[in-house]
């Protein structure tokens, strides 16, 4: 089978990668990527297969494939940097809405019910337009965060 991405490290790149792999301040993700590149280097002799590299480095085959692909298409700097660029989603429940949910849960249940359920709370939150949409899991997590039990 022909290899799609062939890694041939220059001596200066190899030294830089080795320094990075041995540094104590480097994250384990970057260290693993560096080790993948070192093990896949064609100039250092016969490289390992991707499956062998994945077992040796403790990563998946897909990680090895993407690391080699990144090196061949984007270069060394791109491969050896932390890639999380997208920020996490902002929380749906903020402090003010959280207070409304808790006040609602601590109040009287709807007529015909002896207590609040998460489903009833979720419906009432949307009905009162505290939030446009909210899942039951979000409401449950909010109540759990404040040690509130509906039983």
**Residue that finishes a domain, picked among 79, 110, 135:** 79
Q: Quick check: 1 pLDDT over 90?
A: no
| Cα torsion angle, 46, 50, 51, 56, sign | positive
**Residue that finishes a domain, picked among 31, 51, 79:** 79
Q: Are residues 16 and 43 in the same domain?
A: yes
Q: Are residues 16 and 75 in the same domain?
A: yes
Which pTM was predicted? 0.56
The pLDDT tens digits of the residues spanning 55-87 come to 999 999 999 999 999 989 988 888 888 766 666
Residue at 41 is within a domain: yes
Which of 15 and 2 is assigned the larger pLDDT? 15
Tell me the mean pLDDT in the region 23-47.
Answer: 88
Domain that holds residue 131: 95-145
Tell me the mean pLDDT in the region 48-53.
Answer: 89
Q: Which of 7-16, 52-61, 85-94, 114-123 has the lowest mean pLDDT?
A: 85-94
Q: Which residues of 64-98 are buried (b: 16+ CB within 10 A; e: fewer)?
A: bbbbbebbeeeebeebbeeeeeeeeeeeebeeebb
CA distance 46 to 40: 8
Q: Burial-class residue 30 by CB neighbours within 10 Å (0-12, 13-18, 19+).
A: middle
Q: Are residues 44 and 103 in the same domain?
A: no
Q: What percent of the chain has pLDDT over 70?
A: 94
- Which secondary structure element, helix H or strand E, spans residue 18, and what is its range? helix 11-22
Q: Quick check: 2 pLDDT over 60?
A: no
Q: Are residues 75 and 116 in the same domain?
A: no
Domain tally, the chain? 2
The pLDDT tens digits of the residues spanning 17-28 come to 998 888 888 888
């Amino acid at each position: 089978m022909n290899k799609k991405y062939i890694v041939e490290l220059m001596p200066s790149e190899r030294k830089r990668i080795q320094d990075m792999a041995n540094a104590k301040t480097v994250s384990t993700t970057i260290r693993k990527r560096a080790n993948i590149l070192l093990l896949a280097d064609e100039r250092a002799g016969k490289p390992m297969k991707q499956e062998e590299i994945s077992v040796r480095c403790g990563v998946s085959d897909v990680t090895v494939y993407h690391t080699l692909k990144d090196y061949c298409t984007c270069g060394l700097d791109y491969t050896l940097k932390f890639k999380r660029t997208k920020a996490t989603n902002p929380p749906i429940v903020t402090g003010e809405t959280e207070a409304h949910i808790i006040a609602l849960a601590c109040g009287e249940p709807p007529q015909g019910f002896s207590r609040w359920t998460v489903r009833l709370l979720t419906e009432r939150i949307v009905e009162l337009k505290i939030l446009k949409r909210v899942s039951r899991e979000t409401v449950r997590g909010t109540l759990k965060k404040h040690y509130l039990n509906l039983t």
